[in-house]
Amino acid sequence: MFSKTNKKERIDSEQREQYEYARARVKQKKRLMQHFIVFLVGSLLLIIINPVLGIGNDFFITNWFVWAILIWAFLFLIHVFNVFIMNSFMGKEWEDRQLEKLKAKQAARISELQQKVDSELQLPELKKNKPSNPLPPDVQ
Protein backbone atom coordinates (compact mmCIF):
# COMPACT_ATOMS: atom_id res chain seq x y z
CA MET A 1 0.00 0.00 0.00
CA PHE A 2 2.78 2.43 0.90
CA SER A 3 5.52 0.92 -1.24
CA LYS A 4 6.73 2.59 -4.39
CA THR A 5 6.23 -0.49 -6.51
CA ASN A 6 3.04 -2.43 -6.71
CA LYS A 7 4.61 -5.44 -8.40
CA LYS A 8 3.14 -8.69 -7.26
CA GLU A 9 5.00 -11.47 -8.92
CA ARG A 10 2.85 -14.44 -9.65
CA ILE A 11 4.48 -17.79 -10.18
CA ASP A 12 2.91 -19.69 -13.04
CA SER A 13 2.28 -23.41 -12.74
CA GLU A 14 5.37 -24.45 -14.72
CA GLN A 15 7.69 -22.37 -12.56
CA ARG A 16 5.98 -23.67 -9.46
CA GLU A 17 6.45 -27.25 -10.65
CA GLN A 18 10.14 -26.61 -11.37
CA TYR A 19 10.53 -25.08 -7.93
CA GLU A 20 8.89 -28.07 -6.24
CA TYR A 21 11.09 -30.48 -8.20
CA ALA A 22 14.24 -28.55 -7.28
CA ARG A 23 13.14 -28.47 -3.67
CA ALA A 24 12.60 -32.23 -3.64
CA ARG A 25 16.05 -32.81 -5.18
CA VAL A 26 17.69 -30.60 -2.56
CA LYS A 27 15.86 -32.54 0.14
CA GLN A 28 17.10 -35.85 -1.33
CA LYS A 29 20.69 -34.63 -1.41
CA LYS A 30 20.39 -33.25 2.13
CA ARG A 31 19.19 -36.61 3.41
CA LEU A 32 22.06 -38.32 1.59
CA MET A 33 24.57 -36.03 3.34
CA GLN A 34 22.90 -36.71 6.67
CA HIS A 35 23.14 -40.44 5.98
CA PHE A 36 26.85 -40.03 5.16
CA ILE A 37 27.55 -38.14 8.39
CA VAL A 38 25.63 -40.69 10.47
CA PHE A 39 27.53 -43.46 8.65
CA LEU A 40 30.91 -41.90 9.52
CA VAL A 41 30.01 -41.27 13.16
CA GLY A 42 28.44 -44.72 13.52
CA SER A 43 31.45 -46.42 11.95
CA LEU A 44 33.81 -44.62 14.32
CA LEU A 45 31.57 -45.61 17.21
CA LEU A 46 31.59 -49.26 16.14
CA ILE A 47 35.38 -49.18 15.82
CA ILE A 48 35.68 -47.70 19.30
CA ILE A 49 33.20 -50.16 20.81
CA ASN A 50 34.72 -53.40 19.53
CA PRO A 51 38.52 -53.19 19.18
CA VAL A 52 39.25 -50.36 21.62
CA LEU A 53 36.77 -51.12 24.43
CA GLY A 54 36.57 -54.85 23.75
CA ILE A 55 32.77 -54.96 23.87
CA GLY A 56 31.42 -57.86 21.84
CA ASN A 57 34.58 -59.96 21.79
CA ASP A 58 32.57 -63.00 22.85
CA PHE A 59 30.35 -62.84 19.74
CA PHE A 60 30.38 -65.60 17.17
CA ILE A 61 32.30 -63.36 14.77
CA THR A 62 35.39 -61.82 16.33
CA ASN A 63 35.57 -58.67 14.17
CA TRP A 64 31.84 -58.10 13.84
CA PHE A 65 32.27 -54.34 13.54
CA VAL A 66 33.91 -54.78 10.12
CA TRP A 67 30.89 -56.67 8.83
CA ALA A 68 28.49 -54.14 10.34
CA ILE A 69 30.37 -51.28 8.66
CA LEU A 70 30.47 -53.14 5.32
CA ILE A 71 26.73 -53.80 5.39
CA TRP A 72 26.06 -50.19 6.32
CA ALA A 73 28.40 -49.01 3.52
CA PHE A 74 26.47 -51.19 1.06
CA LEU A 75 23.20 -49.57 2.18
CA PHE A 76 24.79 -46.13 1.83
CA LEU A 77 25.92 -46.99 -1.72
CA ILE A 78 22.36 -48.02 -2.56
CA HIS A 79 21.21 -44.64 -1.26
CA VAL A 80 23.83 -42.84 -3.42
CA PHE A 81 22.78 -44.91 -6.44
CA ASN A 82 19.15 -44.02 -5.85
CA VAL A 83 19.79 -40.28 -5.52
CA PHE A 84 22.28 -39.72 -8.33
CA ILE A 85 21.89 -42.56 -10.85
CA MET A 86 18.25 -43.62 -10.69
CA ASN A 87 16.99 -40.07 -10.50
CA SER A 88 18.63 -39.24 -13.82
CA PHE A 89 16.99 -42.25 -15.50
CA MET A 90 13.69 -41.96 -13.69
CA GLY A 91 13.52 -38.24 -13.11
CA LYS A 92 10.77 -35.72 -13.77
CA GLU A 93 10.74 -36.26 -17.54
CA TRP A 94 10.36 -40.01 -17.10
CA GLU A 95 7.46 -39.48 -14.67
CA ASP A 96 5.75 -37.13 -17.14
CA ARG A 97 6.11 -39.66 -19.99
CA GLN A 98 4.72 -42.46 -17.81
CA LEU A 99 1.77 -40.28 -16.75
CA GLU A 100 0.98 -39.46 -20.38
CA LYS A 101 1.12 -43.15 -21.31
CA LEU A 102 -1.20 -44.08 -18.46
CA LYS A 103 -3.64 -41.28 -19.31
CA ALA A 104 -3.70 -42.39 -22.96
CA LYS A 105 -4.35 -46.02 -21.93
CA GLN A 106 -7.09 -44.87 -19.58
CA ALA A 107 -8.76 -42.75 -22.27
CA ALA A 108 -8.59 -45.65 -24.75
CA ARG A 109 -10.11 -48.01 -22.20
CA ILE A 110 -12.89 -45.54 -21.37
CA SER A 111 -13.78 -45.08 -25.03
CA GLU A 112 -13.71 -48.86 -25.53
CA LEU A 113 -16.08 -49.35 -22.59
CA GLN A 114 -18.33 -46.56 -23.84
CA GLN A 115 -18.58 -48.20 -27.27
CA LYS A 116 -19.36 -51.52 -25.62
CA VAL A 117 -22.10 -49.95 -23.51
CA ASP A 118 -23.53 -48.14 -26.52
CA SER A 119 -23.62 -51.32 -28.60
CA GLU A 120 -25.15 -53.45 -25.82
CA LEU A 121 -27.68 -50.91 -24.65
CA GLN A 122 -29.73 -49.69 -27.58
CA LEU A 123 -31.83 -46.73 -26.52
CA PRO A 124 -35.29 -46.57 -28.08
CA GLU A 125 -35.53 -43.88 -30.71
CA LEU A 126 -38.19 -41.22 -30.23
CA LYS A 127 -40.75 -40.85 -32.96
CA LYS A 128 -39.91 -37.71 -34.86
CA ASN A 129 -43.43 -37.09 -36.22
CA LYS A 130 -45.19 -37.08 -32.87
CA PRO A 131 -44.62 -33.90 -30.85
CA SER A 132 -43.81 -34.58 -27.26
CA ASN A 133 -46.25 -33.11 -24.80
CA PRO A 134 -45.07 -32.99 -21.19
CA LEU A 135 -48.63 -32.47 -19.86
CA PRO A 136 -50.84 -35.45 -18.98
CA PRO A 137 -53.78 -36.15 -21.37
CA ASP A 138 -56.49 -34.97 -18.96
CA VAL A 139 -54.92 -31.49 -18.60
CA GLN A 140 -54.97 -30.67 -22.33
Q: pLDDT for 29-65, tens place per residue? A: 999 999 999 999 999 999 898 877 777 777 777 788 8
Point out the residues of the chain with pLDDT beneath 70: 1-10, 123-140
Task: Tell me the C-alpha distance between 67 and 47, whole Å.
Answer: 11
Residue 85 burial by CB count (10 A; 0-12/13-18/19+): exposed, middle or buried? exposed
